[in-house]
Structure 1
Amino acid sequence: MNNSKSKSPTINKIGTVKRKAVRMSEEALIKVELLSENPLPLVVKPTVEGLNLADWAINNREFIDSKLSQHGGILFRDFEVNGVTDFEHLIGSTSRDLIESVAEQNIHNEFAYAEQNIFFHNEYSDRQIFPLKIFFFCAKPAEGGGETPIANCHKIFQRLDPKIRERFLEKKWMLVRNYGSGFSSTWQKAFQTTDKAVVEKYCRNSNIEFEWKDNSRLKTCTVLPAILEHPKTAELLWFNQVAFFHISTLEPAIREALMALDEEFPNNTYYGDGSEIEASVLDEIRHCYHQETVSFTWHSKDVLMLDNLLTAHGRAPFVGKQEVFVGMSESFNNQNCCKGA
């Protein structure tokens, strides 16, 4: 029989016992919640202080993409976001490509003054090629207002009268723009060139009809699908700027000023065959957007990531200085998911 006593572990010197580093799982680093009963947007928050959003996103792109398709938008709140540089890194870590440089929202919308509302739209849905993802970064909230309201485009499609849906499926929609007249931008500024040949090449490649009025004015006309099928979920989506660019959506004072001018409107929309869209149809379209509106107050360093196909956005009037930056990624051609003739 062995009578030797078992020895208890001893500590010879303070500090000789090393602590093992505890690595939290990716799931434990965040928590998810909703702002309300509406699933849009999903709110993602860190469970530890100082978690950098761009760094966290690098290892969690699959999770982010899955939740984005499911909810249509993700609001990242309380993460560490060190200015525009981190914002750009976030876009890079969650996307194939950055379509254009990050810009301040109120510069991106050059004619949207602080006291004016920007109606709902899907970014670049007035073009054949548009971004699949759009990001907003709040560097400085306004003193009041300035929300970025959002709305689910599949639910908007479902709310619309079936007769209206069928009409736009059949006819599509038309956007007519007049550059260099009234309140509109010049064609040189809009196309970022002074070379007419460059403009003409762009228009031909983008299926845009064009007409030169004189050296300072250009008229364009494009017909686009009003309803698209989501490439991942196969949901039918109300994806256009029919209401956004129609003159009846403008605030009364601006609309009256434009109508007083003896020239064509800067922008207006029609059915794809060129016929007028009835006032009752436009009223219903706007009503459906408002019925699906979700809004929240911006917090400093908030980042909102939207599926640009599934979710439309706008901007509320605001008071004081506001800094919200916008970035877009992942170019997509509407011919890959258009519905209708």
Structure 2
Amino acid sequence: MKKNYTEDFSQKKLKITRRKSVDLSQEYVVNIGNLQKNQNLPLLLEPNIEGLNSMSWFKKNRDFIKVNLLKYGGILFRNFNFTSVAEFEQLMKVISNDMMRYTYRSTPRSHVSGNVYTSTEYPAYQSIPLHNEMSYSHNWPLIVGFFCIQPSEQGGETPIADSRRILTNLNPKIVEKFRQKKVMYVRNYQDGLDLSWENVFQTTDKSEVENYCKSFGIDCEWKSSNHLRTRQVCQAIAIHPQTGESVWFNQAHLFHVSSLESSVRDFLFANFQEEDFPRNSYYGDGSPIEESVLEEIHQIYHQEKIIFPWCKGDILMLDNMLFSHGREPFIGSRKVVVAMAESFHQLKTSNINIS
């Protein structure tokens, strides 16, 4: 994957400013703040007293957290003294009892524990463009949590961007075309290229794959004994089921072959027909997405990107529809794990309009 609009490693980090303590549970126990002046995204929460029982506070203030997650789209919890994956998973279960397995995968990850996974395992020198988790499907998490076990020596931030602002700032003609046509994702699972179908669907049983595809509106075809091709037309713009806000919600720019490094692109064009590329994106009617359109999408994401440094023990919680996320290149060891919660299944939700 090529490096799209990567920030220079020497970029100045955002300074944290704080407002006064806020009474959340009949006592002043946390500070609420901003990452920089005039920038309230994500919301910053830090303990205001030593020895706070963090898990107890989260349990007691679950509703407060969920209300503010909807209001701001993202919350950064800092200095709550979480040190283990088990504590992070327990915290996610406090926020939601609907934890998700990472099935129908698009990137390489390793299972850590329970429903916790490593963040995308792409080489450290690569950036991962901003995107909403699993927006290439009809089934996605409403909440995504990140836990920083070890920040890298340099870089490795998880930038975020407001999906509402992406939609607002894109050329209206581009938005309307995607609204009408939607996005088609074409994937080929073959030996030695990208992820295998066994990895993506987390099974070795072809009938399970076929049943999954049928349930989630995915056309699948076995081109040979171990070559599976899938096609799926999904939303380009979605309406948040709780806030009613319209958001830019797709991965057309990330799946498109143009997102790959030039050497990988050249290899694919030299050795495969386009229909056999590991992944690619089109308008929903199968017509090609213009290069100028993809370029503008990348530019708007870059323009709206909010970046801040990880600290050890940080937990970033995002409303996956309101905010996209990515990854900056990094130097040194970096360990960030991810958990997803509150599955939203578009095809089973008749009262929500998805464009």
TM-score for both structures, normalised by structure 2: 0.85
Which residue does the alignment assign to 1:119? 129
* Aligned equivalents of 1:228, 1:192: Cα separation in 2: 27
Give the 3-state SS of the residue equivalent to 1:99 in structure 2.
coil
> CA offsets, 1:147-196, max 9 Å, x none?
10100000000001111111111111100000015532121222122221
| Pairing of 1:80-91 with structure 2 (within 5 A) | 80-91=81-92
Quick check: 1:148–1:316 contact (8 Å CA) kept in 2? yes
> CA offsets, 1:297-320, max 9 Å, x none?
100000000000100001111111
* Aligned equivalents of 1:231, 1:34: Cα separation in 2: 27
Which residue does the alignment assign to 2:313? 301
Quick check: 1:35–1:43 contact (8 Å CA) kept in 2? yes
* Aligned equivalents of 1:185, 1:268: Cα separation in 2: 14
| Pairing of 1:163-312 with structure 2 (within 5 A) | 163-180=173-190, 183-263=193-273, 264-312=276-324
Which residue does the alignment assign to 2:167? 157
Which residue does the alignment assign to 2:346? 334
| Pairing of 1:308-319 with structure 2 (within 5 A) | 308-319=320-331
- Further displaced range: 245-254 or 122-131: 245-254
Which residue does the alignment assign to 1:35? 35
* Aligned equivalents of 2:239, 2:130: Cα separation in 1: 19
1:317–1:51: structure 2 CA closer, same or farther, 3 Å change rule?
Answer: same
Give the 3-state SS of the residue equivalent to 1:89 in structure 2.
helix
* Aligned equivalents of 1:254, 1:54: Cα separation in 2: 46
* Aligned equivalents of 1:26, 1:43: Cα separation in 2: 20
Shift of 1:66: 1.2
* Aligned equivalents of 1:27, 1:149: Cα separation in 2: 33
Shift of 1:27: 5.1
> CA offsets, 1:68-107, max 9 Å, x none?
11111000011110311110111011113111310121xx
Which residue does the alignment assign to 1:8? none
Residue type of the partner of 2:134? Y
Which residue does the alignment assign to 2:334? 322
Residue type of the partner of 1:339? I
Shift of 1:262: 2.5
| Contiguous gaps of at least 5 residues in structure 2 | 1-23, 102-114
* Aligned equivalents of 1:52, 1:114: Cα separation in 2: 35
Instruction: Output the aligned Cα RMSD.
Output: 1.7
Which residue does the alignment assign to 1:104? 118
> CA offsets, 1:96-149, max 9 Å, x none?
3111310121xxx24x11111111111111121111000000011111111101
* Aligned equivalents of 2:346, 2:164: Cα separation in 1: 16
- Further displaced range: 90-99 or 174-183: 174-183
How much identity, in percent, do the aligned residues show?
46
